[in-house]
Structure 1
Amino acid sequence: MKTLLVIPARYASSRYPGKPLVELAGKGGVKKSLIQRSWEAAQSVNGIDRVVVATDDSRIRDAAEAFGAEVVMTSSTCVNGTERCAEAHTALGDAYDVVINLQGDAPLTPHWFVETLVDDIKSDEGASMTTPVLQCDGRALNGFLEDRKAGRVGGTTAVFDVDKYALYFSKEVIPYTNADYANDDPTPVFHHVGVYAYKAEALRNYLSWPEGPLERLEGLEQLRFIENGHRIKCVKVQSRGRQFWELNNPSDVERVESMLRDNNME
């Protein structure tokens, strides 16, 4: 099965305009743009036939081409990364069986997260897509709760059934728990990692579905699949000591830079 990895990137983010071009300092103070770091993360994934950046902005295109990325221009009407991935796949001739969406704000994504997704989507006939979830320890859960108290929208959480098919995703912390957890304690909360592997047919169908009320309320593109009766397989992944976070807000820059250094990423 041929696999395409797409990095969707837009300049006009409502929460963080120009985010893909923000420079982040890694180990040794080396600065690279967010889009370049995401591209480098994609290059570390095994089993991918082609990697492209998908954008509607010439500034992102120029920056990406300058460090050697292949770029596919998409329309400015895409409302989320999944739509942009679908447009990019169409522009490339619908030539792939599996399409990966490695969002441009997640350069800390380990390669084994993506490789596990690809393995699962190829073997699970019932899933339209797969996405990774990471069990929160007490430290991670407290970080989520602190963000909420401060009025910040941080990471997304997921709940799923006994077969690991998603029941819901939310920017709130679900399921509810009022227990106290030590930093290293496992918790019942799972952090949804914003990477997706789609079967090509499901991705084509996505463009024909209208935005649903849950997707609109949460601002989470994957809810459109659930609202239209398609199953999302949540794949449990292990951090293997690697710190992970998405760059959602300007306040996340310092946190991501610290994790880049801790992960020995230049």
Structure 2
Amino acid sequence: MSVLVAIPARYASTRFPGKPLVPLKGLSGRSMTLIERSWRAARSVTGVDRVVVATDDDRIREAAQAFGAEVVMTSTECANGTERCAEAHEALGGGFEIVVNLQGDAPLTPPWFVEGLIDGLRGAPEAEIATPVLRCDGATLNSLLADRREGRVGGTTAVFGTDHSALYFSKEVIPYRAAAYEDADATPVFHHVGVYAYRPDALAAYPTWPTGPLETLEGLEQLRFLENGRKVLCVEVQARGRQFWELNNPEDVPRIEAMMAEMGLE
């Protein structure tokens, strides 16, 4: 099955304007922009036929082309990354059997997350979209809780049924937990990894669906699928010793740089 990876990137982020062009230093101190690191993460995934950056901003286009990325220009009217991926797939003439949305704020996404996601969607013909989830250890859960206490959105959590069909996604930390957890403990909370794999028919239909109240309240694009009765498959992935965090706020820059240094990533 042919696979397209699209990296949606916009300059006008509400929480962090210009986020795709923020520099991130690796272990050696070398800086690369967030969008370049996300593109390199996409390029490391096996079984992918094409990788493009999808943007509406000339500054991002110029930066991406400078490091060798293929760029698809999309409209300023796209409400979120899924709509931008739908527009990019159409602009390329369609024809891909799976379209992966690797969001441009997840430079620490290891290739096996995306490979597992693609395999999961291939193995679940009833699903129209799949997305990875990662069980939180106590350290990650405590970081999520600290962000919420301080009024920041530090990540998204997911709950799903026994068949791994998503029940809900939230920027709050769900489900409720009565216990406290040490850093190395396994917890019942799953961190949603901001990557999606779509079947093209569902992706093309997505921009035609109305934005529902849950998507509006949470600001989470994947809730439009749930609010329209579509099956979202949660694919559990394994960290294999890698740390994962998304760049949501300016405060995340030193956190991600420290993680890259600790993991020996350039």
Q: Same fold (TM over 0.5)?
A: yes
Q: State the one-letter code of the partner of 2:245.
A: W
Indicate yes or no: 2:58 matched with 1:26: no
* Alpha-carbon distance, 1:210 to partner: 1.2
Q: What residue is the counterpart of 1:165 in the other structure?
A: 165
* Alpha-carbon distance, 1:238 to partner: 0.5
Secondary structure at the aligned position of 1:27 is classed as coil
Secondary structure at the aligned position of 1:29 is classed as coil
Q: State the one-letter code of the partner of 2:216.
A: R
Structure 1 portions without partners, runs of 5+:
none
Secondary structure at the aligned position of 1:24 is classed as strand
* Alpha-carbon distance, 1:263 to partner: 2.0
Q: What residue is the counterpart of 1:87 in the other structure?
A: 87
Indicate yes or no: 2:19 matched with 1:44: no
* Alpha-carbon distance, 1:160 to partner: 0.2
* Alpha-carbon distance, 1:178 to partner: 2.1
TM-score (norm 2): 0.99
Q: How does 1:178-217 map to 2 (within 5 A)?
A: 178-217=178-217
Secondary structure at the aligned position of 1:28 is classed as coil
Distance in 2 between residues matched to 1:24 and 1:68, nearest whole Å: 18
Distance in 2 between residues matched to 1:218 and 1:174, nearest whole Å: 13
Distance in 1 between residues matched to 2:123 and 2:148, nearest whole Å: 37
Distance in 2 between residues matched to 1:265 and 1:181, nearest whole Å: 28
* Alpha-carbon distance, 1:167 to partner: 0.1
* Alpha-carbon distance, 1:100 to partner: 0.2
How many residue pairs get matched? 266
* Alpha-carbon distance, 1:43 to partner: 0.7
* Alpha-carbon distance, 1:123 to partner: 1.6
Secondary structure at the aligned position of 2:28 is classed as helix
Q: How does 1:53-68 map to 2 (within 5 A)?
A: 53-68=53-68
Q: What residue is the counterpart of 1:116 in the other structure?
A: 116
Secondary structure at the aligned position of 1:116 is classed as helix
Structure 1 runs of 4+ with >2 Å offset:
none
Q: How does 1:239-254 map to 2 (within 5 A)?
A: 239-254=239-254
Deviation string 1:99-141 (CA, Å, 9 cap, x unpaired) is 0000000000000000001111112111111111000111111
Distance in 2 between residues matched to 1:23 and 1:204, nearest whole Å: 33
Distance in 2 between residues matched to 1:34 and 1:144, nearest whole Å: 21
Indicate yes or no: 2:145 matched with 1:139: no
Distance in 2 between residues matched to 1:262 and 1:191, nearest whole Å: 20
Q: What residue is the counterpart of 1:76 in the other structure?
A: 76
Distance in 2 between residues matched to 1:259 and 1:83, nearest whole Å: 31
Secondary structure at the aligned position of 1:207 is classed as helix
* Alpha-carbon distance, 1:241 to partner: 0.4
Secondary structure at the aligned position of 2:136 is classed as strand
TM-score (norm 1): 0.99
Secondary structure at the aligned position of 2:248 is classed as coil
Distance in 2 between residues matched to 1:64 and 1:11, nearest whole Å: 13
* Alpha-carbon distance, 1:245 to partner: 0.2
* Alpha-carbon distance, 1:207 to partner: 1.1
Distance in 2 between residues matched to 1:9 and 1:181, nearest whole Å: 35
Distance in 2 between residues matched to 1:262 and 1:126, nearest whole Å: 40
Deviation string 1:188-231 (CA, Å, 9 cap, x unpaired) is 10000000000111101101101111000000000000000101
Distance in 2 between residues matched to 1:243 and 1:137, nearest whole Å: 10
